[in-house]
């Protein structure tokens, strides 16, 4: 079985974005009409999935995608907590509809109602609802709700602990995933995303988060940002800061995905990072949707790069399936209940 651990609903029906535009407009000017979500039929959802993600999964050989709302549209820096809560719930409910229409191909991961300056503990209720009521298996956790301004505390600060406690209690992982950037210095997918991935890893290195939460599981997407390329730098910094080896200090709890869009990058990821810490992912359709003119294939067809590594059968099983089932135990349980 081939499980893609990182997919977003970037092809959602236009009614969703129309609602968001009206919501933001009303927040900015209360004299404008209250937002109202126009009805989205099951057929509309089927069409957006069957002609896009599902078709690509079938063409590329994937069996299941761990699916969440469009990351760049979370936009936690826009509006206030009430705006974020409403927008988040609508998106998560839409993902749930996808998983009900395509239960064998998609399983949910939730957006969180984060907002600038609001305690992360306020997001626990939505996480709990999505896991216990909607059958979701994880969440996307934004380390920078300010949208590229980095005004909040680092992930190792104890203000995050109430949420980590809830994750451990529910036995779900989080993917560390920022959203859109409102800082003109940081292009969203080309800079802000990779900055955040790398920053999160360095924060984990500086602290002792996993000493406090030995059962916490976090996924750093996009191949771990710049971390694998600079692995020697982080090994050296750990030594300088008096920290244990990275394999002991961080990598019992942190995992990287394979959203790296060229063969040399995938080659490096697998040379540097232990295979037990790598989960297959493509993020289709996300940051890079085009065709690579050098190869003639889609940039985000990441299975092709992994196939080219010629891993052993055991290695392929870990990357494509076993690691995801271990990191997402609720996914494993649901699959086993279906005899898969």
The stretch 40-56 carries a mean pLDDT of: 97
Question: Contact at 8 Å (CB) between 281 and 221?
Answer: yes
Q: Tens digit of pLDDT for each residue in 141-154? A: 999 999 999 999 99
> Does 284 have pLDDT greater than 90?
no
Q: Could you tell me the pLDDT band of residue 87, with boundaries at 50, 70 and 90? A: very high
CA dihedral 16, 20, 26, 27 (to 10 degrees): 150
Q: Could you tell me the pLDDT band of residue 101, with boundaries at 50, 70 and 90? A: very high
Q: Tens digit of pLDDT for each residue in 172-195? A: 999 999 999 999 999 999 999 999
Q: What is the pLDDT of residue 287?
A: 82
Query: How far is residue 206's CA from residue 214's CA, in Å, rounded to a whole number?
Result: 16
CATH fit for domain 3-337, picks 3.90.1170.10, 3.40.50.2000, 3.20.20.140, 3.40.640.10: 3.20.20.140
Query: How far is residue 259's CA from residue 265's CA, in Å, rounded to a whole number?
Result: 10
3-state SS assignment for residue 125: helix
Q: Could you tell me the pLDDT band of residue 50, with boundaries at 50, 70 and 90? A: very high
And the tokens for 304? Answer: 């092709």
What does the domain layout of the chain look like in residue ranges?
A: 3-337
The stretch 260-266 carries a mean pLDDT of: 97
And the tokens for 306? Answer: 């992994």
The stretch 90-113 carries a mean pLDDT of: 98
Q: What is the pLDDT of residue 289?
A: 86
Q: Which of 60, 54, 48 shows the shortest CA–CA distance to 15?
A: 48
Q: Choosing from 44, 50, 283, 321, which is the catalytic residue? A: 283
> Does 286 have pLDDT greater than 90?
no
Q: Which of 264, 263, 261, 254 shows the shortest CA–CA distance to 234?
A: 254
Instruction: Give 72-108 as a DSSP string.
Output: GGT-TTSS-HHHHHHHHHHHHHHHHHHHHHSTTTEEE
DSSP state of 198: H
Q: In what order do the strands lie in the sheet with 174-176?
A: 139-141, 174-176, 218-220, 254-257, 278-279
Q: Could you tell me the pLDDT band of residue 285, with boundaries at 50, 70 and 90? A: confident
Query: How far is residue 251's CA from residue 26's CA, in Å, rounded to a whole number?
Result: 45
The stretch 208-236 carries a mean pLDDT of: 98
> Does 298 have pLDDT greater than 90?
yes
Say whether 133 is catalytic: no
- For the chain, give percent helix, strand, coil, nearest 5: 50, 10, 40
Bridge partners (DSSP) of residue 139 are 110, 174
Query: How far is residue 58's CA from residue 177's CA, in Å, rounded to a whole number?
Result: 26
């Amino acid at each position: 079985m081939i499980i893609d651990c990182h997919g977003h609903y970037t092809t959602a029906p236009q009614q969703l974005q129309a609602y968001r535009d009206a919501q933001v407009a009303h927040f900015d000017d209360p004299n404008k009409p209250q937002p109202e979500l126009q009805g989205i039929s099951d057929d509309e959802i089927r069409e957006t999935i069957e002609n896009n993600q599902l078709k690509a999964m079938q063409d590329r050989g994937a069996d299941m995608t761990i699916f969440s709302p469009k990351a760049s549209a979370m936009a936690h820096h826009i509006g206030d907590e009430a705006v974020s809560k409403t927008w988040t719930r609508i998106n998560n409910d839409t993902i749930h509809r996808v998983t009900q229409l395509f239960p064998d191909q998609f399983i949910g991961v939730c957006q969180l109602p984060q907002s600038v300056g609001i305690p992360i503990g306020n997001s626990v209720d939505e996480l709990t609802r999505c896991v216990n009521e909607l059958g979701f298996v994880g969440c996307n956790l934004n380390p920078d709700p300010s949208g590229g301004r980095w005004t909040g505390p680092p992930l190792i600060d104890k203000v995050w602990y109430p949420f980590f406690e809830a994750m451990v209690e529910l036995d779900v992982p989080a993917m560390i995933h920022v959203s859109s950037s409102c800082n003109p210095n940081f292009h969203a997918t080309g800079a802000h995303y990779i900055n955040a991935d790398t920053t999160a890893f360095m924060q984990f290195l500086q602290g002792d988060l996993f000493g406090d939460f030995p059962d916490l599981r976090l996924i750093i997407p996009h191949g771990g940002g710049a971390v694998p390329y600079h692995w020697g730098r982080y090994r050296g910094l750990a030594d300088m800061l008096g920290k244990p080896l990275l394999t002991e200090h961080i990598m019992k709890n942190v995992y990287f995905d394979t959203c790296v869009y060229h063969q040399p990058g995938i080659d490096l990821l697998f040379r540097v990072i232990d295979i037990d810490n790598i989960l297959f992912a493509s993020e289709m359709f996300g940051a890079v949707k085009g065709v690579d003119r050098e190869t003639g294939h889609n940039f985000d067809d990441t299975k092709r790069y992994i196939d080219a590594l010629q891993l052993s059968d055991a290695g392929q099983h870990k990357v494509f399936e076993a690691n995801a089932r271990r990191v997402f135990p609720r996914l494993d349980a649901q699959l086993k209940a279906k005899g898969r």
